[in-house]
Each structure stands twice: as structure tokens, then as C-alpha cells.
Amino acid sequence: MAAKKGMRGWGRLRPLPSKRYQASYIGPDGRLHKAPATFAAKIDAQGWLSAEQRKIELGVWRDPREAPKTVLTVRDYAERWQSESSSRLKPRTLDLYRSYLNRVILPGLGDVALNQLTVNDVRGWFAGLESYPTRNANAYSLLKTIMNQALDDELIAVNPCRIKRASVKHRVAEPVALSAREIQSLADSMTVDRWKALLLVAGFSGLRWGELAALRRSDFVLSGGENSVTVRRSVTRQAGRFVVGRPKSAAALRTVPLPSGLAFAIAGHLEELALAGSSGLAFPSLTGDFPHENTVRPHLKRAALVIGYNSFRFHDLRHSAATLFAQAGATLADHMTLMGHTSSTMSARYTHSTAARNKDLVEGMWPPE
């Protein structure tokens, strides 16, 4: 008689929707016994079955239900989840997740049994967090992701993370969108010449800080009627050192045209302040290393005060460029390409701002009386 699908010569293996494997067997007591956890690889599940079969053959098998049970906590499962995710996540993302676990999630929920975590537990934990909206939303999203995996592994019956809009990020401060002339004035107001061109490139290209900090001389083209900058890499600060890697996403690998009026300022900066050679850093620190945003920030805040802004962040330069692209008539597809967005939702926030201009264009289609 042919064995049923999922059956072995002894014991049973069952693939789960999560692509993990569940192992079980009929013990000497005539009862069905399941492995205490699922397995990432089929061979591991087979190994567990072989070990159980060997115990029976040697006469040392005991009913696992009679042995003291080890409680699988949220902490245990979260650690396992991050370990299994390490190969598919970027180092910077892993560091962020580790920070959310250690500082936000595990102090309040780590010791709770995984299969005993309730909606009320999660709601109470979330309500008791300090007022850091973005951090809290990210931590909640991470917890929900981990619990979804536990659900796929059939370790819990339902995901207890069911707080409406808990993962929605709320702005603490409204972003500032500078005009083109204000970006120029901001750069002129910088008291340190080394960072003037950096601000101009940021304000007219929309590059992220990590992309700007990693730029080399060869990433700029300022001749032959073409003025552009190409994003090939990004740099992050991890455990006190700079780490160069790929940008945030595949869409971030892009070439962004620059206004021809910037060519002179950029060329002068590269000649005087960039490191030597085609691979030399375009915007190095005084020590010749990658620049740190904390070094630029105080000078930027002082320059912003000069042009009348009491609150200004470096990321506002990216927001300014995004707004200028939209006001210049960039389509949604154009905007996504220029900004390196993977989601049309992000670019739509800016292209929608051209609705008034579109109304004028449509009115202009009507023939004059």
C-alpha cells in the first residue's frame, strides 16, 4: 500500500504555509506526538523524528507531555526571528530592529509567554510607551511582523497586534519646503564653506543624507551640456563606524539631473575641498572621512535662522527638492524616479500640490473670445 503524501517510513512530515515543517509520530502509548516547534528545513524535521525513534528502540522514550514544559516567551521567539532574518535584512535595518526590541518591545513584553500574549497586553504596552510617535509606530510594526510569523508557524492562534492605526507615523514637526532662492540664500548663509555645495546639491537633487555623504568625484558629470549626479552607494553609521553599502532600495540607484547654474559652484567645491582622484569623497569631513550629519547640523541651524526659519532639519532640503520637482511639472513617474521612491504614494503627496497649476493649464486650453 502506497504511503500517503507527507508520510515517511516512520512518523509524519507536514509542510506549512510558512514553508516550515511540522513533524509528528504515533508513540508507544498509541497517541500522536508533535515536535515542540516547527523546522526551517525538512532534514531538521527528519532528524528530530529519527532521534525520537531511536529513544523508542533503546527503551528510554518518555511521554514528552509528562516532562516539565519549557515556556516559549516573546523574547525567545523574537530572538529566533531576528536570527533567521539576518541574512535578508541590511545591517542598518538589523541594528534598528535590535534597538526597537531592546529598548521598546522586550522590556514590557519579553517575559510574557508567546501563546499567552493578548490584545489587552499589547494595548497596555503601547499606551504606556513614552511620547516618541515615529519610534513607537516602528516598534509596533516590528512586533506585528514577528507575531505574524509566529502565527504562520502555528505557535499562536491569532495575532494579538490589532490596535488600529498604531503603525501609522505621525509627524512631530511639519517639514519646511524652501523656494529655489531660499536654498541659495541658505547656502550663502553657511559660515563654513565646506558645506555650502553640500546644501545646494541636497536642495536641488533631493538626495538622502547617506547618499550625499557617500558621493565620489566620479559621481558628478559637469561637462558636455550635462549636469547630473549619480547615486551608486550609501553610507550609514553603525556601532561607531561608517559602513558603505547599497542605497535604501533598487529605485534609489539613479541619476538625477542638476540645474546648469549649479555647475560652477560644484566644480569649484570639487577642485578645492573634495579628496583627490576620481574615487575621492566629494564632501569629506575635516579629517578626510565621511561627513557626519551631527557635524553639519549646528551650522545648518544657524544659517536657517539667518533666512528666517527657527526650525529646520537637513531632511527638509530633500522635502524642498521634492516640492520643487512637483511645481516644475514632474509627473508621478518622473517624481518617483528623481526621488528614488519605491511607492507612488510618497511622490503623490507632492505631485498633488500642482493641482492649482493644472487648473490654469486647462483653462488655457479654452480658445479666447
* Cα gap 197→101, rounded to integer Å: 39
Cell of 309: 526659519
In this structure, the number of other CB atoms found within 10 A of the CB of residue 295 comes to 13
pLDDT number for residue 332: 81
* Cα gap 128→92, rounded to integer Å: 27
- pTM > 0.75: yes or no: no
pLDDT number for residue 224: 72
Strand ranges, E, within the chain: 12-15, 21-26, 32-34, 220-223, 226-230, 234-238, 241-245, 255-257
Contact criterion met (CB below 8 Å) for 303 and 317: no
Nearest residue to 11 (alpha-carbon basis) of 29, 33, 44: 33
* Cell 498509541, residue located: 30
What domains does the chain contain, in order, with CATH numbers?
12-66 (no CATH), 74-152 (1.10.150), 180-355 (1.10.443.10)
Q: How far apart are the first and last CA of the chain?
A: 90
pLDDT number for residue 1: 39
Average pLDDT over residues 274-301: 95
From residue 331, how far is each of 71, 143, 353 by CA, in Å?
55, 37, 11
pLDDT number for residue 218: 95
Q: Which residue has the higher pLDDT, 242 or 363?
A: 242
Q: What is the pLDDT of residues 303-338, one digit of tens each?
A: 999 999 998 999 999 999 988 888 888 888 878 888
DSSP 13-58: EEE-TTS-EEEEEE-TTS-EEE-SS-BSSHHHHHHHHHHHHHHHHH
Nearest residue to 208 (alpha-carbon basis) of 144, 256, 149, 276: 256
The rounded Cα 201 to chain-centroid distance in angstroms is 24
Q: What is the pLDDT of residues 190-200, one digit of tens each?
A: 999 999 999 99
Angle at 70 between CA 66 and CA 76, to 5 degrees: 160
Q: Which range (263-267, 277-281, 346-350, 360-364) has the least confidence? A: 360-364
Active site positions, annotated: 208, 315, 318, 341, 350
* Cα gap 82→77, rounded to integer Å: 9
* Cα gap 302→297, rounded to integer Å: 9
Query: Tell me, what DSSP letter sits at residue 70?
Result: P
Q: Which range (32-36, 108-112, 360-364) has the least confidence? A: 360-364
* Cα gap 155→74, rounded to integer Å: 11
Contact criterion met (CB below 8 Å) for 201 and 258: yes
Contact criterion met (CB below 8 Å) for 26 and 56: no
Nearest residue to 254 (alpha-carbon basis) of 346, 339, 348: 339
